[in-house]
Each structure stands twice: as structure tokens, then as C-alpha cells.
Amino acid sequence: MATTEVRISLEDVKQAAAQVEERIPEPTTVVIFGASGDLTKRKLLPALFHLEQAGLLPPQFRIVGVARRDLGKSFAEDMKQGILEFGGVKEGEEKLEEFVEKIDYHAMNFDDDNGYAGLKELLELYDREAGTRGNRLFYLATAPEYFADIVHRLGAHGMAKPEVGQARVVIEKPFGHDLESARELNDDVNTVFNESQVFRIDHYLGKETVQNVLVFRFANGIFEPIWNRNFIEHVQITAAESIGIEGRGPFYEKAGALRDVVQNHMMELLSFIAMEPPASFAAEAVRLEKIKVWSSIKPLNIFDCVRGQYGPGIVNGQKVKGYREEERVDPQSQTETYAALRLGIENWRWAGVPFYLRAGKRLASRVTEITIQFKQPPMLLFGGHTHGGCSEIQPNLLTMRIQPDEGISLRFGAKVPGPQMAVCPVVMDFGYAQAFGASSANGYERLLLDAMLGDATLFAHRDGVETTWALFTPVIDAWAKKFPQTFPNYEAGTWGPECGEELIGRDGYRWHSVAPKS
Ligand code: BG6
């Protein structure tokens, strides 16, 4: 196996860091609604502390958690534990105590006007005492049914359009559950906040490897000329998880794989792979190209969309329950925990190139990757000589490993040393960890920073959200009308149901991602 090595000098890293220095936001208070949930402790606070460590937060900075429970001072201590446990941070780390001092808590019901009045007073107090200058980033990490109400009440209490400073709102997924509900929510949000104040978050866009898809394509001259139907046979995107639903039964019962990850995370990945070079890396320009791709997807054919649900099985050597036996899940549930589909993009670049997508829970391993399979050479000079396991010439594959083991590899044929012209596939590999060192960042760092700076490039726009819902709503409706009789149709710890293999197999291909590299 051939391996390339990328070496980065300290000077390179310093230079890159110098470029981000100017990206320090204005003094700000981050207000997290639904702060008692897991997301705040596991992701948001560790990410904010990473920003602090990197010197990317303004000194005049406050965080206030908002939730119903009366947590008082214990909230800040709990967040500190989260930073230590999930942020790769050690007790006694420089800046940690000072950072924890900036964390506050405000208990209120999301429909209680007195609570909003109290919150407003608290924020004004920070403006006076901590110099946060009226800038707020409201982060909605509550259950989605509260989004519209919170937004309206923020508006009614004068917090959406402050006289001094900037108010911005970050909205977690799921953003709607079909086209109609997404439109309604967009209307609700846009009656209170202008679109330029709204940041619909998809944490996949915070992943370095996802952003790197754009860098790979548009910062290198050699790939773009072959990035089209003339050279590419098909594209596969896999988002496989070995975990189950992690106690989120009521949420997942209503969501299912298609709504939970395909309509958002996988569509974002697809857009980065398929879009035209944007005019610039500004939010408007990138958004435009993404929407063009999604609008060029042919209406999905229901026969090209398959689903599955896991039964009991063995994952990583441990016996695990089937989906229907999970806590707070209907024992007759028809919710899909696996979805695979084939779609076509009808434009000059991609006409005739199938895109295969699959996502599932309780699969054999955790791997998110994109594989581009290139066309074979027009005639094969070599072949017929067997060597080890390989007897046929294999197509070139470019694999972008989003996670884990982040990196990019290119498979090509090489001559096996010896008297015959035997060809064997070998791999050139770039690994993030080897090139840049391991990172404890979780992706929210970049997105939180961008939201504070008002840069929406890596966030979903209302038109984009509605375009992807428009694509999937007919499938969701058709699936809801006709329940599969075969559920559960795959064993936990396998690569999913037979129908997922058939979907790609009937075109003569197979899924390439089978396991992360050890
Ligand atoms: C979330 C989904 O958006 O993404 C989860 O709700 C899923 O069900 C998660 O597990 C996957 O994210 P990641 O970053 O682990 O790939």
C-alpha cells in the first residue's frame, strides 16, 4: 500500500492562526434556551471553551443558560464538568476558572412572559457590568415545538431588534418535520428576525472534513476538470452509526432516519460534492450554488428509496436490543432506522450519474464517508493476470472520510513487481491526524464563532431548508401510507437490510464503505 505523507511546519500553523486573529467577535452574551439538555454540556460549552482557549472570544463575554429547572449556581459547575469530560480539557487548565465565572443561569418556563422580562433585565445588567454592549446570540436548543413561541416572545419583549447591538438567533435541527411545517416555522421566525439574523445550524457543516470537501475541490486545480459525468461513474455517501437511539425514543419515533439525518446532514454533504464553484465564499454565493444543486435533483422515485429497522443483534461484541424494544418506543413501531436511496441530479455536470445515499443506526461500525467511483479507462491493456486476491482491474476510487479516521484516499492500480503485467489496487492516503495532529474540536466551535460574527456561509437558509423538504416530503408521505411488513429487517451490528444492498446492486455496484481503517 502506497502512502503519502503531508508535513506541516510550525510556521504554516502560525500563519494560519494569524489569519483568524481578525475573526474575534464583538462583545456578546450567548443565551442558550434548553440549556439543561445534553447538547449544551457535551458540545456547546466545550466548544465555547475551546474558542476561549484559542483566544477567539472577546473579553466582554457572558453565557446564560435558560431552562425550566431551578439549577442556580450548580449549572456553571455542571458545565465545567462537561468541559472537562467532553472537551478534552484537564482540571486546572489555564483560563478555565475564569471562563466558568462567566456562566450564569436563568430559570423560566418558555411560555412565561415574566421570565422573558427577567432575562432582559439580566442581559442589560451584563451590558452595564460586563460591557457586552447589547449583542446577543440566542441559541435555541430546546425541543422543536418551543421554537416558534420562544422567537415570538423574544420579539414581544424587544430582544429581537435591540436599539443598541446585534441580536442573532441560532436554531437547532430539526427545522420542521416536512415542507409545510418548515415553511410555517420559517414564517414565524422571519416575522420576528430578519433572515440575516437567523442561523439554522447543521453541525455537519462545522466538521473540518466537510468544509474540506470544498477546499479539496476548489483550492486544487487537478480535480475539478474530472469532477463530472465524463469521468465519474457514480457517487456514494454513507452515514453509518453503530449507536442506537441513545434514549431519544420519543424524538426518534417521530423522526426516523430520513428526517433525522438524510434531509439535512446528507443533503449538505451532497451539495458540497455536487455544486458548481461559487462566485466567492460569501454566504449568498455558496447558498445559491447549493440550492441550484438541490433544485436539480429529479423527484425521487419511491422504488429508489428503501428503509429498514434494526432488530436485536451484536454491536462491538455487545448484545443490543432491537429498536422496538428500546425505551419509549412503540413495540409495533414502523419508524425507519435505516434509509437508502438513489437519486439523480439533472444538470450538465451530473446528468446520468447516480448518487447513492444510505444512513442507519446500529450498523456494523461508525463511518461517514463519500466515495467517488471513476469510470474505467476506455480500453484495458492489462488484466487476466491474477495476483493474490485481485484478478480484475478495479475502478479508481476517491474516498473522503468525514469521520472517524478523517482523511482522503485515492485508490488506483499499480503493477505488481514481477515478470507479469499483474495489476493490483493500492491506496494513496492522507490522514488529518497524521498531517495536522489530533484535535479535540467538535465542530460547534466554528459554527458558534461564525454565528457571533454574523457569517451565515456554513448555515442553512430558509430556501435551502424548504427545497430539501420539498424533495423528501413525498417519500415521507408515501412511507407513512404504506407500512413495511418486514420490520425489523436487519440485525443490529450488520450493514443494514437486504433492500439496501439490492438498491445499489441492481445497477451493478456495491457499497464501498465497510469498515473504518484500523
Ligand atoms: C444528529 C442526529 O443530528 O446527528 C443523531 O439527530 C445522529 O441521531 C447525529 O446520531 C450524528 O452526528 P455525528 O456528528 O455523530 O455524525
String of DSSP letters for 253-317: HHHHHIIIIIIIIIHHHHHHHHPPPPSSSSHHHHHHHHHHHHHHBPPPPGGGEEEE-EESEEETT
**Of 28 and 390, which is predicted with more confidence?**
28
pLDDT score at 1: 39
450 lines ligand 1 (CB under 6 A): no
pLDDT score at 442: 86
CB 43 within 8 A of CB 170: no
- Residue 224 Cα to ligand 1 midpoint, Å, equals 30
Ligand 1 probe mutation, 203, 366, 403, most atoms within 8 A of CB: 203
- Residue 109 Cα to ligand 1 midpoint, Å, equals 27
Ligand 1 probe mutation, 248, 265, 362, most atoms within 8 A of CB: 265
pLDDT grade for 383, boundaries at 50, 70 and 90: low
- Residue 125 Cα to ligand 1 midpoint, Å, equals 37
pLDDT score at 5: 47
Mean predicted confidence (pLDDT) in 34-52: 96
The string of pLDDT tens digits covering residues 273-288 is: 999 999 999 999 999 9
pLDDT score at 72: 87
| Partners of 495 in beta bridges | none
Q: pTM surpassing 0.75?
A: yes
State how far the Cα of 381 lies from the Cα of 147, in Å rounded to an integer: 61
Smallest CA separation from ligand 1 atom 7, residue? 261
241 lines ligand 1 (CB under 6 A): yes
Cell numbers placing 368: 461517514
261 lines ligand 1 (CB under 6 A): yes
The string of pLDDT tens digits covering residues 395-411 is: 999 999 998 989 999 99
- Residue 245 Cα to ligand 1 midpoint, Å, equals 10
CB atoms within 10 A of CB 512: 16
Cis peptide before 312 (omega within 30 of 0): no
Check whether 244 has a pLDDT greater than 70.
yes
262 lines ligand 1 (CB under 6 A): no
pLDDT score at 3: 42
CB 23 within 8 A of CB 56: yes
Smallest CA separation from ligand 1 atom 6, residue? 260
> What 8-state DSSP symbol labels residue 245?
-
Mean predicted confidence (pLDDT) in 311-330: 96
Check whether 392 has a pLDDT greater than 80.
no
pLDDT grade for 7, boundaries at 50, 70 and 90: low
pLDDT grade for 202, boundaries at 50, 70 and 90: very high
Question: Lowest-pLDDT range, 179-183, 274-278, 366-370, 422-426?
Answer: 422-426
Closest Cα to residue 410, out of 424, 421, 423, 425? 425
Check whether 387 has a pLDDT greater than 90.
no
pLDDT grade for 20, boundaries at 50, 70 and 90: low
Smallest CA separation from ligand 1 atom 8, residue? 260
- E strand map for 53-135: 61-67, 103-107
Mean predicted confidence (pLDDT) in 202-214: 95
Atom of ligand 1 minimally distant from the CA of 245: 8
- Residue 366 Cα to ligand 1 midpoint, Å, equals 11
CB 308 within 8 A of CB 500: yes
369 lines ligand 1 (CB under 6 A): no
pLDDT score at 389: 59
pLDDT score at 179: 97
pLDDT score at 517: 43
Q: 490-491 and 310-311 as β-strands: parallel, antiparallel, unpaired?
A: parallel
Smallest CA separation from ligand 1 atom 10, residue? 241
CB 70 within 8 A of CB 27: no
Angle at 217 between CA 213 and CA 221, to 5 degrees: 155
Smallest CA separation from ligand 1 atom 4, residue? 261
CB atoms within 10 A of CB 16: 11
260 lines ligand 1 (CB under 6 A): yes
pLDDT score at 422: 86
User: To the nearest whole percent, how much of the chain has pLDDT over 70?
Assistant: 93
User: To the nearest whole percent, how much of the chain has pLDDT over 90?
Assistant: 85
State how far the Cα of 59 lies from the Cα of 102, in Å rounded to an integer: 10
Catalytic machinery residues: 265
Q: Supply the mean pLDDT for the chain.
A: 92
Mean predicted confidence (pLDDT) in 192-214: 95
Atom of ligand 1 minimally distant from the CA of 255: 6
The string of pLDDT tens digits covering residues 452-505 is: 999 999 999 999 999 999 999 999 999 999 988 899 999 999 999 999 999 999
Atom of ligand 1 minimally distant from the CA of 173: 3
State how far the Cα of 202 lies from the Cα of 443, in Å rounded to an integer: 10
The string of pLDDT tens digits covering residues 68-125 is: 999 988 999 999 999 999 999 999 888 999 999 999 999 999 999 999 999 999 999 9
